[in-house]
Amino acid sequence: MMPMPKAKHFYSVKTTGVYCRPSCAARPKMENVGFHATAAEAERAGFRPCKRCRPEREALDYAIGETWLGLSLVAESGKGVCAILFGNSRTALKRDLRDRFPDAVFIETGRALAGFVDGSRFAVDLRGTAFQKEVWQSLRKIPAGQTASYADIARTIGRPKAVRAVAQACAANPLAVAVPCHRVVRSDGSLCGYRWGTERKKRLLAREAA
């Protein structure tokens, strides 16, 4: 792997006219190498993206590990955490991530995941339609230990007739726990479906209630 100066994320090679990620398999001579903080900076300097490592594509760091909610995956962009997913296998979790971000490059890390599923606060990078993000932001305002119905959320965002659309936005949520769709229940207070399983929803609500 190419050694990178602090805060520099790409390198260019003046003999080939391309720029690469530090993980690229290319091994240029150091006297021909320059460093850049962003892909745009490298391109402004006149370099074109490497066809091998595709540095113009967004890179997402991700980690997979066991948490108190089972096997989990957390992915992070330069803006914040963009996915918190649960699953039964590493393969399924990686497939889910690829399906959600088909144009990204993925870099697996050994990051600990406990803080992302225990209610800690961190920057998030919400990806979705304007309506979905409106619903998700509303969900983030539900205090831990409390619940709301789909109808409550629809009224909160000023669209009282959009109950079904609110439910669909909850189902599309890529940020389990951080966007607490588990706090949404039926109008009679009973539990409804949860993308990552009703048992996880019960555990989350019970923990928050305590």
Tell me which residues are annotated as active site: 181
Torsion sign, CA atoms 19, 23, 24, 26: positive
CA 39 to CA 41: how far, in whole Å? 5
Residue 133, Cβ neighbours under 10 Å: how many?
A: 14
CA 207 to CA 111: how far, in whole Å? 24
Close Cβ partners of 69 (under 8 Å, ≥ 6 residues apart): 86, 117, 177, 196, 200, 203, 204
Helix (H) or strand (E) holding 96, with range, is helix 90-100
Tokens (6 digits) for 89: 């296998």
Residue with tokens 């399906």: 99
Residue with tokens 């998700």: 136
CA 52 to CA 30: how far, in whole Å? 19
Name residue 199's amino acid. Answer: E
Cα-to-chain-centroid distance, residue 124: 8
